[in-house]
Chains A and B, each alone.
Chain A
Amino acid sequence: MIIDVEKFVTAERPFWSELEQLLGRLENEPGFQPDLAQLRRLHYLYERTSSDLAKIATFSAEPETRAFLENLVARAYGEIHETRRRGHRIRPVEWFMVTFPRTFRRHARAFWLGVIITLAGTALGAFALMFDPDAKASVLPRMFANHLGDPAKRVAEEEKSGGTAAHAGAKARFSAHLMRNNIQVSVNAMAFGLTYGIGTIVVLFYNGVILGLICADYIIAGQSKFLAAWLLPHGSIEIPAILIAGQAGLVLASALIGRGSRASLRERLRQAAPDLATLIGGVAVMLVWAGFVEAFLSQYHEPVIPYSLKIAFGVVELGVLWVFLARAGLKPTTDEQAEGGLPAAKLPQST
């Protein structure tokens, strides 16, 4: 029980200031690793300040002190009771080369479900075009307006200039437009996982329908080689990227539904959040690359660039991507080796 509040505040203030300074270091210095003595001191100061808060909570005349102590205890509580791994430094290369592929593999089933949904859409799009050629005009969005005509005529026109006329002097803006549009679609595919996955499924299926319509149109017109040479250089990265965004949406939906899990909704979402952020970040990087390739390579055709070269480029990209997603990050990082191997929850699974 406190009788003299003034004396109490004066006596305790040095401990509060010390805790404040220690918390400031923990929050503002990413590289700060407290040693055992500092950790013990932090815990002692936290308990002492908590006790002070309990003592002062009944005093009417001390709202500022109470608010200050509540703030201090809340911050210390967050630091002491946090069990999630702390990102000490920003390591973009390690994140992309290790964390991203590991996360992808951990949710491989969601990825393959996304592939199946997209393939179902592709099949529907292809069938729709075969049975009703007018479907192309009613389904394709405005940004695909250049695909509405006869594919053979388009190919003939493109090959006249070898693609140098397309977006001449406007390649950078075309690339920027592609990046923005594709990243936006990917973010939406993930965000709509909040609709218990229905929105994500719609986005993936619709993308599949568009892909099926365009592919079927060119194949039926006998322009398969042109199609492969146009689509593969950027599509081998862009399409998997959209599928990974769909994977993130399905992971989010799975966390919401929680089938087969005993964890609470809050806990499931807490576990999923870092993986979702990693997946969508990786997707953004992939789509920046795809945007450059589509604007600066895919639009060039024969005779400027041989189709076989473009197809080979696309196939190599796809192969590298496959190996990257399947094999990157299998070995423990330097930090993990120091800590005794891969953390159990992060062990990579087979695709």
Chain B
Amino acid sequence: MTSRTATLDIRTPEGIVFSLPLAGPMLRFIGFVLDTSTVNVITQVLVTLALVFIMVSPDIVIALRILLPFIVQVGYGIGCEWLWRGQTLGKWVLRMRVMDAQGLRLQFSQVVMRNLLRPVDSLPLLGFVGAVAMFLNRHNQRLGDLAANTVVVRQPRLREPDLDQLLSRKYNSLRDHPHLEARLRQRVSPAEAAVALQALLRRDELDPSARVGLFSEIAARFRSLVEFPPESTEGLTDEQHVRNVLDVVFRVRRDDPAGAAKSAGRGELEELAGK
């Protein structure tokens, strides 16, 4: 069985690597339920609208009642994923998207294939075969995805951590040394910063001795990355040192006009990313 936090790693010929988080079976099942409900609602609306033809012929109304559910069922996934760049309503709500497994442009034939092969994934019922295939596949692909060479990726909404709850706005002695501050921001890796942040978030769940040990290790790591003058770190506990480091890494200087400009820029970036 594969890890549920699987990612699609793509290395471009230019040597750039980017990772896209893959949607897991549970998330996709919820999306499937949402889409099935949507298909049912659309079908009901269209079947009701078809009643206008009763004046022409009741036979046509019944014919439409036979055909419309089938057309909506087949056409919904194909139409939405093609026109909406790999998304259906269920996928949009859950921030998922169908992509080519090699990161290339999603082709119409791929969309058609993954949707038309759904009957096999649905065998014997409720998508059992597809679910088994997803659990056995490292990219969480059902059989339709395998044949169409597609994957479903997650597009998580990234939010800045609520630093105000974690970090006090007290004087931070590390900020007295802007050049070391800049070096610290450059040297602390995203993974290290994430570990330290999680440690602070969960600090009250830890045993006292474990808490002291954990923050001692993290602080030692940060100290090894950038050495601040002793007067800046004197008297600070390991936990306070970690707080100060995170404050430097995550929080833009309030009195820094460039920082304020950056905050405004982030809004623009989010707007662009959301397009």
Interface residue A24 (Cβ < 8 Å from any Cβ of B): yes
On whether the beta carbons of B143 and A10 are closer than 8 Å, the reply is no
Name the A residues within 8 Å of B119 (CB-CB): 187-188, 191
Separation of A180 and B16 alpha carbons in the complex (Å): 48
Interface residue A154 (Cβ < 8 Å from any Cβ of B): no
A10-62 interface (Cβ within 8 A of B): 10, 13, 16-17, 20, 24, 27, 47, 50-51, 53-54, 57-61
B31 CB to nearest chain A CB (Å)? 20
Size of the A side of the interface (Cβ < 8 Å), in residues, is 75
Separation of A183 and B193 alpha carbons in the complex (Å): 56
On whether the beta carbons of B269 and A65 are closer than 8 Å, the reply is yes
On whether the beta carbons of B149 and A273 are closer than 8 Å, the reply is yes
On whether the beta carbons of A10 and B116 are closer than 8 Å, the reply is no
On whether the beta carbons of B265 and A252 are closer than 8 Å, the reply is no
Interface residue A190 (Cβ < 8 Å from any Cβ of B): yes
CB < 8 Å: which of B16, B85, B262 contacts A6? B262
On whether the beta carbons of B116 and A190 are closer than 8 Å, the reply is yes
Separation of A169 and B249 alpha carbons in the complex (Å): 76
Name the B residues within 8 Å of A191 (CB-CB): 116-120
On whether the beta carbons of A277 and B112 are closer than 8 Å, the reply is yes
On whether the beta carbons of B12 and A274 are closer than 8 Å, the reply is no
Interface residue A339 (Cβ < 8 Å from any Cβ of B): no
Separation of A123 and B12 alpha carbons in the complex (Å): 55
Chain B's closest residue to A248 (CB) is B116
Interface residue B132 (Cβ < 8 Å from any Cβ of A): no
CB < 8 Å: which of A13, A67, A177, A273 contacts B147? A273
B 225-244 to A, binary, CB cutoff 8 A, 1 in contact else 0: 00000000000000000000
Among A61, A81, A171, the most chain B Cβ lie within 10 Å of the Cβ of: A61
Separation of A59 and B188 alpha carbons in the complex (Å): 7
On whether the beta carbons of B158 and A63 are closer than 8 Å, the reply is yes
Interface residue B213 (Cβ < 8 Å from any Cβ of A): no
Interface residue A130 (Cβ < 8 Å from any Cβ of B): no
* Chain B at the A interface: SS class: helix
Interface residue A132 (Cβ < 8 Å from any Cβ of B): no
CB < 8 Å: which of A4, A50, A277 contacts B182? A4
Separation of A20 and B190 alpha carbons in the complex (Å): 26
CB < 8 Å: which of A2, A5, A51, A266 contacts B149? A266
Separation of A64 and B157 alpha carbons in the complex (Å): 9
Name the A residues within 8 Å of B20 (CB-CB): 70, 74
Interface residue A3 (Cβ < 8 Å from any Cβ of B): yes
Name the A residues within 8 Å of B34 (CB-CB): none
Separation of A87 and B107 alpha carbons in the complex (Å): 9
Name the A residues within 8 Å of B55 (CB-CB): none
How many interface contacts (CB-CB < 8 Å) are there between A and B? Answer: 185
B185-207 interface (Cβ within 8 A of A): 185-186, 188-190, 192-194
On whether the beta carbons of A82 and B104 are closer than 8 Å, the reply is yes
Interface residue A192 (Cβ < 8 Å from any Cβ of B): yes
Chain A's closest residue to B129 (CB) is A194
A153-183 interface (Cβ within 8 A of B): 169-173, 175-177, 179-180, 183
On whether the beta carbons of B273 and A67 are closer than 8 Å, the reply is yes
Name the B residues within 8 Å of A77 (CB-CB): 10, 12, 103-104
B67 CB to nearest chain A CB (Å)? 5
A248 CB to nearest chain B CB (Å)? 10
On whether the beta carbons of A58 and B116 are closer than 8 Å, the reply is no
On whether the beta carbons of B63 and A173 are closer than 8 Å, the reply is yes
B92 CB to nearest chain A CB (Å)? 16
Interface residue A280 (Cβ < 8 Å from any Cβ of B): yes
A54 with B85: in contact, given A6-B258, A13-B265 (CB under 8 Å)?
no
Interface residue A134 (Cβ < 8 Å from any Cβ of B): no
Separation of A287 and B177 alpha carbons in the complex (Å): 77
On whether the beta carbons of B113 and A277 are closer than 8 Å, the reply is yes
On whether the beta carbons of B272 and A17 are closer than 8 Å, the reply is yes
A133 CB to nearest chain B CB (Å)? 34
CB < 8 Å: which of B104, B108, B160 contacts A81? B104
Separation of A57 and B189 alpha carbons in the complex (Å): 9
Separation of A66 and B266 alpha carbons in the complex (Å): 11
Among B60, B104, B118, B259, the most chain A Cβ lie within 10 Å of the Cβ of: B104
B33 CB to nearest chain A CB (Å)? 22
Separation of A201 and B76 alpha carbons in the complex (Å): 29
Separation of A184 and B188 alpha carbons in the complex (Å): 57
On whether the beta carbons of A63 and B190 are closer than 8 Å, the reply is yes
On whether the beta carbons of A53 and B16 are closer than 8 Å, the reply is yes
A69 CB to nearest chain B CB (Å)? 8
On whether the beta carbons of B116 and A187 are closer than 8 Å, the reply is yes
On whether the beta carbons of B70 and A183 are closer than 8 Å, the reply is yes
B98-120 interface (Cβ within 8 A of A): 100-110, 112-113, 116-120
On whether the beta carbons of A67 and B107 are closer than 8 Å, the reply is no
On whether the beta carbons of A60 and B193 are closer than 8 Å, the reply is yes
Name the A residues within 8 Å of B10 (CB-CB): 74, 77
Chain A's closest residue to B265 (CB) is A9
6 closest Cβ contacts across the A-B interface? Answer: A60-B193, A176-B63, A277-B109, A172-B63, A274-B109, A277-B112
Instruction: Known A-B contacts: A61-B249, A266-B149. Give 9 more (CB < 8 A).
Output: A6-B258, A47-B14, A64-B158, A64-B269, A67-B273, A73-B16, A176-B62, A269-B149, A280-B112
In the assembled complex, 16 residue pairs joining A and B whose CB atoms fall closer than 8 Å, in A order, are A50-B12, A50-B16, A54-B16, A60-B194, A61-B250, A63-B158, A64-B269, A67-B158, A68-B270, A82-B105, A172-B62, A173-B66, A191-B120, A269-B146, A280-B112, A280-B116
> Which residues from chain B sit less than 8 Å from chain A, CB to CB?
10, 12-16, 18-20, 57, 59-60, 62-64, 66-67, 70, 74, 85, 100-110, 112-113, 116-120, 143, 146-149, 158, 160, 182, 185-186, 188-190, 192-194, 249-250, 252, 256, 258-259, 261-262, 265-266, 268-270, 272-273, 275
